[in-house]
Amino acid sequence: MRTARRMSEIGVRIAGMGATAGVLLTAAGPAAGAGRRASMAVNTAVLFAMARGTWAGLEAARRPDPVPQERVPWHAWPVEAVLSRLRSSMSGLSEEEAAQRRPAETDDERAASPGFGQLMMEELDNPLTPALAVGAGLSAAVGSAVDAALIGTVLGVNAVVSGAQRIGADRALRRLVDLSAVRTAVRRPGSSDPVAETAERLVPGDVIALTAGDSVPADCRLLLAEGVEVDESSLTGESQPVAKSAAPSAARAVADRHSMLYEGTVIAAGDAVAVVVATGERTEIGRAMRPEAQEAPRGGVEARLRKLTNITLPISLGAGVVLMAAQLLRGRSLAQALGPAVALTVGAVPEGLPFLATAAQLATARRLSHHGALVRDPTTIEPLGRVDVLCFDKTGTLTEGRLRLRLVSDGVESAPVGKRVKLSAKMRPIVAGALRANPEHDGGGRLAHPTDRAIARGARWLDMDTGEGVGAWERVDELPFEPGRGYHAVLGRTPEGQMIAVKGAPEIVLERCDTWTESGTSTAFDRRARTTVEHEVERLARQGYRVLAVAERTASDRRDLEDERIRGLRFLGLVGIADPIRSTAAEAVARLGSAGVKVVMVTGDHPSTAEAVAAELGLLNGRTMTGSELAELSDEALTGLVSEVSVFARVSPDQKARIVRALREDGRVVAVTGDGANDAPAIRLADVGIALGSRATPAAREAAAVVVTDNRIETIAHAIADSRAMWKSTRNALAVLLGGNLGEIAFTVGAGLLGGASPLNVRQLLLVNLLTDMLPSIALAMRRPHGVSQEELLNEGPEQSLGAALNRDIAVRSATTASAALATWLLSRAGGIGGQANTAALVALVGAQLAQTITAGGRDPVVLASGLASFAVLGAIVQLPGISRFFGCQPLAWYGWLVGLGASAGFAVVAALFTRRLRSSEEKPGGQG
C-alpha cells in the first residue's frame, strides 16, 4: 500500500507534466497535426509512468516474504527425534551436505542487497527527473534531438556516479561484517577437531560445541549439557542466568524452554553440544528484530533540498513562460517562441541538485570509515549531524574496556594498586589470597573472565605468585564461579596443610566469614565487623569500583570441594576492580556538551557505580533514575521527566527502549550506542543507532545505522562533527549551484527582454550546468571544510548552515553571476563585437560561477583542480570551430575574453569581500549570527 500511494503521487506529477507538454505542442504547430502532437506527449508520459510503476512493482516483489513461524516443537522432542527430523547425527553434517543446504539459507540475504540498476533508479527518483524528461521530449518535438540526448546524458551520469558510490559503501560494510564475524566450533564427521565457521554459514543440522563465554550463533536444540547456564537477558529480559539441560521441555513460553539455546544469548557457565534448528531471520531474535517497513522521515539536508526543488522548478517554469510571452509580444509565432522558452526552462533546472546531498553524504561516509565509523547508509549522515542526545552504556565507550585491579582494602583502610605502586606488607596477603582463588591458569593461557584476568595482571605488577605468604601452593580442586553461586573457591595444598581460598560477591562471601584481622589481632567477624566492611564496600562502589571479597581458611585432608565446605572463613579484605576512564573521553564529552549534544548514561550498573563514572566525566548535570523508579512511571510521565535525567541505572533492555521513545516524543534527535542483541530494539528506535563493532552481536549490527569499530566516544564525537561539517560544505555548494542557476535565469530573461531574443540556447545552458554543477559544485560539497576546528564544526547545523545564511549566499551569488554576464553582454555589444556578445556572456557566466566556487573551496586542491579543468573545457569548446558551432558559439577575439574574464573576476572579488564583511559583522556582539 505504501508503494502504491507513492506511485500515485509520482503518477500525478508525470501526468501534469505530460498534459502541459501536450498543450504546448498542440499550440506550437499547424492545426492539422495538433492531435498527433498532443497524443505523442500524453502517450510518452503514460509510457514513462508505466515504466516507473513496473519498476516499483518489481522492487516490491523483491522484498523477502514474511518469515514463517516455526511450527516444529524442537524443545519438546527427544534428541533422537530432533536429529532424525534434521537428517543429522551427533557428529554433525558433512561439509558436502552443509554446502547443499547453505544456498537456501542465503537466498533472502542475497535478494535483500540492491543491485546497481536498482540504485540508479532510486537516484533518478526525484522531482527534477520528470521535469527534465518533459523538457527533453519538447526539445525533440521542436526538432532538437541532440538537445534531448544531452538532457538524458546529464541524468544518466548523475545516476551512474551515485549508484557506483553506494555500491562501494555497501561493499565496505560487508568487509567489516566479515572481519568482525564470530566463529563457532562445528562438528564434522571423520574429523577429530571441530571446524570454525561463521554464524552466516551455519545451516539447520549443524552440530556445534559451546563453552562459557560463547555467544550462541543460532537457535539450537541441546544435545549434551554439563552445568550449562545461559544469560538470556538479550531475548527475554531475564537478568539471572537460566539453567539448561538436554531433556525435552513441554513449556510453551520461550523463556521456560530449558532444552533450547537461542541466538544472541550467551553461555554463562558450563559446556554444551547443540544442533542448529534455525538461522538468520528464522530465529526467535531474527523474527523479533526484522525491520518493519516504514517511510524514513526526511529532515535536514534532504528536507531542505526538497523545499529548494519545489521553489526552483516553479521559478524555472515561470522564467520560461515570461520569455515565451516576450517573444509572442514581439510578433513571433508560438512555435518560434516555444523553443527559447523550453531551452531556458530545461537549462535553468539544476540537474546536479538531487545528487548534491548524495555526494556530500557519500564523501562524509567515506571519511568516517577512515576514522573507525562505518555508515551503513549515507543518508544516515544527515540525522547524525542533527543529534542532540547521545545515550550510551559506559563500558568500553568511555572506558578502556579492560578491567584493572586498582585498589585493595582490609575492610577499614584502602591502598591503590598500579604498575609502579608498592603495596604494604599488610595489604599484599589480600591480593595473594585473591590470586589463589583464581581459576586454573595453565602456561600463561588466557583466563575466561575479565575480573580473573585483572587479578592475575595486578599480581604480576606486584611481582607476586600463589605461594606468597603460604610457602607453596598446589591446586587440588575448585568450585568454579557461577552467577547463582556468586563466588569462586579453590582447595590447595601448602607445606602447613590444605587451605581453601575464596573470592566473590561481598554479600555472599561475608555471610560465610566468622573471623578477621582488626588492628593486627584476629577477632570474631561479628555484626559490628560486618557493618564496617559493608560500609567500605558501599564507599568503593560509589567510587566506581567492582568490589570482590577475599577470604581463606585452613581445611582438612579431604580432596573434594563442595559448597558445604565454604564456611568458617577468615575475611582477608576487598579488591577493587575498575574499567579506567580514558583520558580523552572526558574531553570528548565536554566537546559534545558545548555543541548542544546532551550525553546520557543508560546502564545496568549499580547507581553508585554509574554516578561515580558520570561524576568523573562531568555528566552529573541532572538527576539519576533507576530502573525500578522508571517502571513506576507512565509513558506520558516519563516523557515529561526524561530531559531532566542524566544517568539511568539498573535498567533492563525494554526500559532502554522506553527511554529512547520518550526522548523522541520530547522532540529530541537521539543517538543510541549498544553492542548486544538486547540493545537492538533501542538502537532501531533511535534516529541514529550506533553499534560498537568490535564486540557487537549480529542483531545489534543489523539494527544499527553506524558501526563504530573502535568503541570510543571520541570516534562518535568525531562522526557527529564530520556530519555537521557536511552542512557547511553543502551550504557552499548549494549557494554556488542555485545562485548560479538563478543568475542564468535572470541574465537570460533580462537579455531576452532587452535584445528581443534569448542570448543562450539549450545546449549552452546545459553546458553551463555541466561545467559548473557536475564537477566543481560536487567537489565543493564533498570536501571537508579546511581551517575549521572540530568545535566550530560541532556548532554547525541545519538552521545555522541551511537557513538564512544559505538564502543570503544564494542571493549574493545569483546577483554576481547575472551581473557579470549582463555587463559582459552589454559591453561586448557596445564595443562592436555584437556577434560574439552571447559567447562572451557565456564565458562570463561560467567564469563567475567557477571563480566563486574556487573562492568557497579555499585551499582545497580538488575544488581548485575541478574549477580549472572546467574552465579549460570551456575554452576548448569556445575556440575550436567545430565544437563551437555545435554549441552555437563563436570563437572569441582577445577583447571578448578580456571583457568576459574581467567581469567575472571583478564581480567575484566584490562578492567575496561583501560576504566576508557581512559575516564578520554578524559574528560581532550584537550581530545577528
- Residue 393 annotated to the active site: yes
d(CA 10, CA 57): 14
Contacts of 821 (CB under 8 A, 6+ apart): 743, 744, 747, 751, 841, 842, 844, 845, 848, 903
Q: Please tell me whether residue 496 adopts helix, strand or coil conformation.
A: coil
Q: In 3D, which of 518, 520, 577, 512 has the Cα closest to residue 551?
A: 512
Q: What are phi and psi of 651, to 5 degrees?
A: -100, 150
Q: Please tell me whether residue 900 adopts helix, strand or coil conformation.
A: helix
Q: Label residue 443 left, alpha or beta by phi (over 0 means left) and psi (-120 to 50 means alpha).
A: left
Helix 2-27 vs helix 128-141: crossing angle, to nearest 10? 30
583 burial via Cβ count (<10 Å: 0-12, 13-18, 19+): exposed
Torsion, CA 104, CA 105, CA 110, CA 111, rounded to 10: 70
* Residue 663 in grid coordinates: 526522548
Helix %, strand %, coil % of the chain (to 5): 55, 15, 30
Which secondary-structure segment (H or E) carries 425?
none
d(CA 541, CA 519): 24
Torsion, CA 428, CA 432, CA 433, CA 436, rounded to 10: 180
d(CA 480, CA 488): 5
Residues in the chain: 929
Number of H helices, E strands in the chain: 35, 24
DSSP string, 192-220: SSPEEEEGGG--TT-EEEEETTPBP-SEE
Taken in order 501, 506, 512, 517, the sign of the CA dihedral is: positive
92 burial via Cβ count (<10 Å: 0-12, 13-18, 19+): buried
Q: Please tell me whether residue 324 adopts helix, strand or coil conformation.
A: helix
Cross-strand bridge partners of residue 184: 197
* Residue 650 in grid coordinates: 539498573
Q: Are 6 and 56 in contact (CB under 8 A)?
A: yes
Q: Are 405 and 550 in contact (CB under 8 A)?
A: no
DSSP string, 664-679: HHTT--EEEEE-SGGG
**C-alpha angle 40-41-45 in degrees, rounded to nearest 5:** 115
d(CA 255, CA 237): 9
d(CA 400, CA 396): 5
Q: What are phi and psi of 544, to 5 degrees?
A: 95, 10
d(CA 310, CA 298): 15
Q: Which residue has the cell 525533440?
A: 140
d(CA 775, CA 715): 30
Taken in order 47, 53, 54, 56, the sign of the CA dihedral is: positive
Q: Are 604 and 651 in contact (CB under 8 A)?
A: yes
Contacts of 300 (CB under 8 A, 6+ apart): 382, 383, 385, 386, 727, 798, 802
State the DSSP code for 581. Answer: B
Residue tagged active-site, from 214, 231, 393, 860: 393
Q: What are phi and psi of 551, to 5 degrees?
A: -150, 160
**Residues classed as catalytic:** 393
